[in-house]
Amino acid sequence: MSDPSLLGSLFRLAHSLKRQTHQQIEQMDLAIAPMHVRVMKIIDGSAPCTANDVVQFLNRDKAQVTRLLKTLIEQDLLQREPNPNDKRSQLLTVTESGAALMQRMAVVDATTYQTMTKGLSADELDAFHRIADQMAQNLAER
Amino acid sequence: MSDPSLLGSLFRLAHSLKRQTHQQIEQMDLAIAPMHVRVMKIIDGSAPCTANDVVQFLNRDKAQVTRLLKTLIEQDLLQREPNPNDKRSQLLTVTESGAALMQRMAVVDATTYQTMTKGLSADELDAFHRIADQMAQNLAER
DNA sequence: GCGAAATGGTTGATAATGTCAACCATGTTT
DNA sequence: AAACATGGTTGACATTATCAACCATTTCGC
């Protein structure tokens, strides 16, 4: 199994999408990167949320997540408050300006999604999503 | 559209696979990275091949590809010879030790592929591949 | 209840990936 | 023949990513 292959296609698609997001962020004149946006989306979509939750979700080193969160907090896109259940931890939420950015990104994302999925049915997209999740789960179960 | 979403699943899958490859390379005690392997597979799978061909295929900056190739040549996994049709360019091929590595990676890849695709039919995998290519093409057409 | 072990998060260091700009030699176009 | 474009290289820098060590806190075992 080699390029061009299923994996090759997957990596090329992921790379294209990452560049798209990067260009969108540049056009918005934001001092963040695609991974920052990704983290905000995770936090925006679930409450309560801790750094460790993001670590688990992204399957990334906690050092990386800590740094991503730090930048977002510095730019007033995220905020943290003490976790009443664990003094070591803080609860993360999106600020008002962060929520505004999430809304702007949602509009852009919808456009990108429409472009990307042209000529593909809802069934095909569902299958793609399901198969991707199945594959990731298979790999995680090793 | 947000995490967890189709894109979220895609990025998580890509990340899992990259880590897999990284661990495999570490276990083989090789001084290269997943992108090096990816480049070798591209070159191994098509002849003749130039740096520019790899640039086009991967959709990456030529600076990055030049550096990846340099490392592989330094480690005698790839070799270059003058392109008879263009003095600016060189033709790239996999060396004997590079070919041996490609064979070892093929075995490992087959195992990973089997793990990853467990519970999925050939039709589903074909659909996944086709949809991924369609999406990448849609994005490239902007 | 106390000590050991584990956990949540931070920081330093380093690796991998990635792009931009400037440059040189060569090829193509006008 | 000059201008423009291209293939490849290098410097600089950005983004993504992990490992190790550390501190404060929580959990576990006795």
pLDDT above 60 (res A114): yes
When the pLDDT of each residue in chain B is averaged and rounded to a whole number, the result is 93
Residue A17 placed within a domain:
no
Question: Would you state the structure tokens that stand for residue A83, as one six-digit string?
Answer: 């976790």
Residue A36 CA, nucleotide D14 C1', distance (Å): 14
d(CA A53, CA A131): 24
Do A131 and B134 count as a contact with CB atoms less than 8 A apart? Answer: no
What distances in angstroms separate CA B79 from CA A113, B31, B91, B95, B103, one per listed residue?
41, 17, 8, 6, 17
d(CA B117, CA B13): 12
d(CA A130, CA B4): 12
d(CA A28, CA A104): 9
Proportion of chain A above pLDDT 70, given as a percent = 96
Contacting residues for B57 by C-beta, under 8 A, at least 6 apart: A3, A4, B42
Domain residues for the domain of A71 are 32-140
Q: At what angle do helices B34-44 and B51-58 cross, to 10 degrees?
A: 110
Nearest nucleotide (CA of A85 to C1') = D26
Residue B22 placed within a domain:
yes
B140 touches strand C (CB under 7 A): no
Residue A1 placed within a domain:
no
- At B3 the pLDDT is 53
d(CA B103, CA B87): 32
pLDDT mean over B113-121: 94
Proportion of chain B above pLDDT 90, given as a percent = 91
SS3 per-residue string spanning A8-60: HHHHHHHHHHHHHHHHHHHHCCCCCCHHHHHHHHHHHCCCCCCHHHHHHHHCC
Residue A13 placed within a domain:
no
Give the count of domains, chain B: 1
CATH number at residue A133: 1.10.10.10
Nearest chain A residue to B20 by CA distance is A139
Q: B45: distance to nearest CA of chain A, Å? A: 8
Residue B138 placed within a domain:
no
pLDDT above 60 (res A75): yes
d(CA B6, CA B60): 24
The ipTM assigned to this model is 0.91
> Which among B119, B129, B139 has the least Cβ separation from residue A9?
B129
Nearest nucleotide (CA of A64 to C1') = D17
To test the contact with chain B by mutation, choose from A125, A134, A141 the residue with the greatest count of B C-beta atoms within 10 A, namely A134
d(CA A10, CA B10): 8
pLDDT above 50 (res A1): no
Residue A25 placed within a domain:
no
pLDDT mean over B106-131: 94
Query: B132: which chain A residues are within 8 Å (Cβ-Cβ)?
Result: 6, 9-10, 12-13, 128
B67 touches strand D (CB under 7 A): yes
d(CA A75, CA B57): 37
SS3 call for A70: helix
Nearest chain B residue to A60 by CA distance is B15
Contact B72, B54 (CB under 8 A): no
Contact A101, A30 (CB under 8 A): yes
- At A132 the pLDDT is 94
pLDDT mean over A112-140: 93
Model confidence at A140, in pLDDT bands (50, 70, 90)?
confident
- At B141 the pLDDT is 79
Contacting residues for A103 by C-beta, under 8 A, at least 6 apart: none
- At B65 the pLDDT is 97
A48 φ/ψ angles, rounded to the nearest 5 degrees: -80, 160
Question: Would you state the structure tokens that stand for residue A87, as one six-digit string?
Answer: 């003094």
pLDDT above 60 (res B119): yes
Residue type, B42: I
d(CA A45, CA B3): 8
Render pLDDT for A48-71 as a digit per residue (tens, 0 to 9). Answer: 999 999 999 999 999 999 999 999
To which residue do tokens 């640039």 refer? B55
Residues 78-97 of B with CB under 7 A from strand C: 86-88
Do A138 and B128 count as a contact with CB atoms less than 8 A apart? Answer: no
pLDDT above 80 (res A2): no
Residue type, B33: A
Render pLDDT for B21-71 as a digit per residue (tens, 0 to 9). Answer: 999 999 999 999 999 999 999 999 988 999 999 999 999 999 999 999 999
pLDDT mean over A32-54: 95
Write the burial class of residue B45 (CB in 10 Å: 0-12 exposed, 13-18 middle, 19+ buried).
middle
pLDDT above 70 (res B1): no
pLDDT above 60 (res A92): yes
pLDDT above 60 (res B139): yes
